[in-house]
Amino acid sequence: MSFHSHFVSSKNEVFLFADVSSASFAVDDKIISFFTKNTFCAPDLNVVMVALDWRRSLSEVGFPDIDAFPGHDGEILVSAIRNGFCFEVTVEPDLSLSVAFEQGEDLIFANDKLSIGKAKEKLFEAVREIWISSVGFTPFISMLERDNSALKASPSRILPVMAASPP
């Protein structure tokens, strides 16, 4: 089963993604099992629901490799990896969120006790960083006019265009 979704960040940026695989549903089952199997200190049902929402959000913004882990004090860590980057969100028992974003062994940022809105902003920041590092950009593409050409470009028809350069 797959579906498409989008998010609009606080800066009105629209991120379109999705293709939710059966692996995502396996992670959902794993998160639910933290509550039902009473592992360590079983998380509150609200913590489970927020962790499920984060699993979905991470999948929808393009993280293909997602997993979840229970904590000793009722928290749940949801971890997502894409192109050597790792975004982690920990849903605390008081429903606050801690996030960390790493590239390889380098910590890019870590924040504790965030609201859902602030944590989503950090997710969008991470997604932007992944996109920037994954695609090379050529600032402008324009047409060059040759003197011996029968076709002459009008200055009003030559527009700078942002384009991704080939990999």
Q: 23-37, 61-75, 77-91 — which is least confidently predicted?
A: 23-37
pLDDT digits (tens, 9 = 90+) for 94-139: 999 999 999 999 999 999 999 999 999 999 999 999 988 876 543 4
- Residue 107's domain comprises 4-137
d(C-alpha 143, C-alpha 158), whole Å: 7
Residue 151 lies in a domain: no
Residue 23 lies in a domain: yes
Contact 77, 93 (CB under 8 A): no
Residue 131 lies in a domain: yes
Contact 27, 54 (CB under 8 A): no
Residue 88 lies in a domain: yes
CA of 94: how far to CAs of 45, 134, 161, in Å?
Answer: 12, 36, 48
Residue 148 lies in a domain: no
Encoded tokens for 95: 């429903």
Is the per-residue pLDDT at 161 higher than 80? no
pTM higher than the cut 0.75: no
Residue 27 lies in a domain: yes
Residue 77 lies in a domain: yes
Sign of the dihedral defined by the CA atoms of residues 12, 120, 56, 84, in that order: positive
Number of domains observed in the structure of the chain: 1
Residue 51 lies in a domain: yes
